[in-house]
Chains A and B, each alone.
Chain A
């Protein structure tokens, strides 16, 4: 099982290619908001960039907060979203501790599904898909934590 991580954001040039790729390829939109990864400058361009994306919590607070079961826990961390069950209440976004879930103007949530389609669009290799070992007691460990 793999998750998307952004371990080299100090290399980021702020081109937004990752967000645009996610919106284009996963959500079929032209957007840099309706995407599982969004780039923000942290206090102007002079201070560099941060990636807002799902950190693959397990258990995920957004799953616990979802009142309809639209969000369910993904093995290895992160969530699986069934939009047909979503009532646009926005509780998932409120529960996310790192502001990784974007609600569009209609309230539709957008969150990373850890598919990795953005990774190859980063010109500076800021992003990568990391293998996660799922342990027996439902905890997830990265390779380095094994």
Chain B
């Protein structure tokens, strides 16, 4: 629905009641990322801890959601159990279109349910249903039960947590419709702290369209660009796992807890190998014709006489890096089996894989022993990692409890900070160099998607600090506008500001279209102010020694350049808060 304000559902789990509120600010912060920060400031307590029932978990969509292809993501905002500060995580699946058709721009869930519950939302439904019997169920099992409990196959989105979320692990994700996630910074634990096992959103509304011929014509043009040009082929062809071989070639693939950046035997986990041997099919987020979700399979013999079971597991570059190269696992099916183990537990695979990589090196160095790890951990041994995922999700002992709080927390206690691959949070799968390390370590989401630092590293040889920081800030500014629409960032090369202006105008958002630059800056500043108000100090972020020790295709890491980058980027970030 097109409106010059935001329609937000506030739901209080404590009282079991919800209400719709009108929030102004559409023309100042557009929606998505901007709206999430705005709502966080109104409905979260910046001083209280993340697990205080007063805190909210927030979901938002944007003005273009559902109206144009690839406008298919939802923004989730919360106070993170990982660092007790403002956090934003993005996910797809059907969540965005279901929110659109449930006729809400934002969902703010506060309070705490008396017992484990499921919140059911639709354009004509609002119900909190107690689901204590789902406690301890893994993400696959709970998905099956919830699908039977609520109608609307195909037009509903089921957001749920696993055992990791119930155990309040800061590495717990929210699973969206089986194959997508609000992955990083512990959104799953926030739901767990609220006794909220699942949110089912039924997209059962419909809206009249603007009466002009320009909208369907523009839609057709955008659709054509997305489906007939080469710009998106990477994403539906091999998918992001195409990066595995490329980064390995550039000596930029984190390998064995970033002890190396390439390996001659990487062939077993390249995008090509996954496609040839393990790819079952592709799937898509609702509203996206690209279909970047790559689904492979795990096949297990569970009994003699050739009795097998199989499960379908989605893969991307990041999960393959975190459960493959980072753990020294070089077989695609072994990688899928580790991803599968993390998925079932509701663990974020990137954070958990990198944490176990640190644990393995610590074990090999003798810093920790089986007293801590319960089982021997060794690089390349998928079986031990599958088991360790369970220990991590359940907090099986003191060691796994603290490791699930974050690799650096465990490293501080057991003494292994130097080789903890943490850049604000567990690293993403790019060891490209100084600019990316700066970007992830200091970026608002500590995500490789905050800005294209990895790309900058690969394309630039100069060591111009101001130029690089300017690039990061400008790229972030463009991205926050996209994530306020809310676009999938894979479409960033197609949805230029010019095209976004056309899309907004044709729907009637003329004031937003005329002020894209200004609004982008406003959103960027609001997000940074919000993060900083919750205690973030970029100057306190430390880049561990391991990142200074690696060799990429450009040679050794330049410590002075990296130091200057973080110093300047910190200065610029802090200036946002003071403006």
Interface residues of A (CB under 8 A from B): 13-17, 20, 23-25, 28-34, 38-46, 48-49, 104-105, 121, 123-124
Q: What 6 pairs across the A-B complex have the smallest Cβ distances?
A: A31-B206, A40-B154, A13-B291, A15-B284, A13-B284, A123-B289
Which chain A residues lie closer than 8 Å to B288 at the CB level? 15
Please determine whether A20 and B147 come into contact, CB atoms closer than 8 angstroms.
Answer: no
Given contacts A13-B283, A49-B154, whether A25 and B216 have CB atoms under 8 Å apart is: yes
Query: Do the beta carbons of B203 and A32 come within 8 Å of each other?
Result: yes
28 A-B contact pairs sorted by A residue (CB < 8 Å): A13-B281, A13-B289, A13-B293, A14-B283, A15-B284, A15-B285, A16-B97, A17-B287, A17-B289, A24-B216, A24-B219, A25-B216, A28-B208, A33-B101, A33-B206, A34-B206, A38-B155, A40-B153, A43-B144, A43-B147, A44-B178, A45-B178, A45-B179, A45-B283, A48-B281, A105-B124, A121-B223, A123-B291
* B66 interfacial contact with A, CB 8 Å: yes
Contact of B227 with A by CB under 8 A = yes
> Which of A20, A34, A123 sits near B227, CB closer than 8 Å?
A123
- Which of chain B's residues 209-263 have a Cβ closer than 8 Å to chain A? 209, 211, 216, 219, 223, 227
A13-B283, A42-B153 as given contacts; A31 in contact with B101, CB under 8 Å: yes
Contact pattern, B 261-301, Cβ under 8 Å of A = 1, otherwise 0: 00000000000000000000111111111110101000000
Within residues 273 to 332 of chain B, which ones have a CB less than 8 A from any CB in chain A?
Answer: 281-291, 293, 295, 312
Cα–Cα, bound, A40→B144 (Å): 15
Alpha-carbon distance between A44 and B146 when the two chains are bound, in angstroms: 10
Q: Decide: B290 and A123 in contact? CB cutoff 8 A.
A: yes
- Expressed in whole angstroms, the minimum distance between the Cβ of A13 and any Cβ of chain B is 4
Partner of B209, one of A17, A30, A49: A30
Per the bound structure, the CA–CA distance linking A14 and B66 in Å amounts to: 14
Tell me how many residue pairs across A and B have CB atoms closer than 8 Å: 96
Interface 0/1 of B189-212, CB less than 8 Å to A: 000000000000001111111010
Is the beta-carbon distance between A31 and B207 smaller than 8 angstroms? Answer: yes
Residues of B within 8 A of A32 (CB): 97, 101, 155, 203, 286
Interface size band for B: 35 or more
CA distance A32 to B286 in the complex (A): 10
Taking a contact as CB atoms closer than 8 A, the residue among B67, B203, B284 that contacts A14 in the complex is B284
In addition to A14-B286, A15-B284, A49-B154, 15 A-B residue pairs with Cβ atoms within 8 Å of each other are: A14-B284, A15-B287, A15-B291, A16-B154, A20-B66, A24-B219, A25-B216, A28-B211, A30-B66, A31-B205, A34-B206, A38-B154, A40-B153, A45-B177, A45-B179
Q: Is the CB of B209 within 8 A of A29?
A: yes
State whether A29 touches B207 (Cβ < 8 A).
yes
- Given A44-B147, A46-B178, A121-B223, verify A16-B287 contact (CB < 8 Å): yes
Does residue B69 face the partner (Cβ distance < 8 Å to A)? yes
Q: Which residue of B lies closest to A42 (CB)?
A: B153
Q: Quick check: B207 and A30 within 8 Å, CB to CB?
A: yes
CA distance A83 to B209 in the complex (A): 19
Q: Which residues of B contact A124 (CB under 8 A)?
A: 291
User: Contact at A17–B207, with CB atoms within 8 Å?
Assistant: no
Nearest to B180 among chain A residues (CB) is A45
How distant is A120 from chain B, measured CB to nearest CB, in Å? 9
B143 near A39: Cβ-Cβ < 8 Å: no
Interface centre among A14, A30, A41, A105 (most CB of B within 10 A): A30
CB neighbours (8 Å) of A17 from chain B are 69, 223, 287, 289
Interface string of B150-186 (1 = CB under 8 A from A): 0001110000000000000000000001110000000
- Would B154 and A39 count as touching, CB distance under 8 A? yes
The distance from the CB of B26 to the nearest CB of chain A, in whole angstroms, is: 18
User: Given A14-B283, A28-B209, A44-B143 in contact, is the A121-B203 Cβ separation under 8 Å?
Assistant: no
Most A CB contacts (10 A, CB to CB) among B177, B211, B291 go to: B291
Q: In the complex, what distance in Å separates the CA atom of A34 from the CA atom of B459?
A: 48
Which chain A residue lies CB-closest to B286?
A16
* Contact digits for B87-109, partner A, Cβ 8 Å, 1 yes 0 no: 00000000001001100000000
User: Which listed residue, A15, A25, A38, touches B286 by the CB 8 Å rule?
Assistant: A15
Given A39-B154, A45-B177, is A20 in contact with B101 using a C-beta cutoff of 8 Å? no
> What are the residues of chain A within 8 A of B204 when measuring CB–CB?
33
Per the bound structure, the CA–CA distance linking A25 and B209 in Å amounts to 10
Interface pair B283/A23, CB less than 8 Å apart: no
Complex Cα–Cα for A48 and B281 (A): 10
Chain B residues in 8 Å Cβ range of A49 = 154
Query: Which residue on chain A has the smallest CB distance to residue B67?
Result: A30
Q: Max chain B CB contacts within 10 Å: which of A42, A104, A124?
A: A124
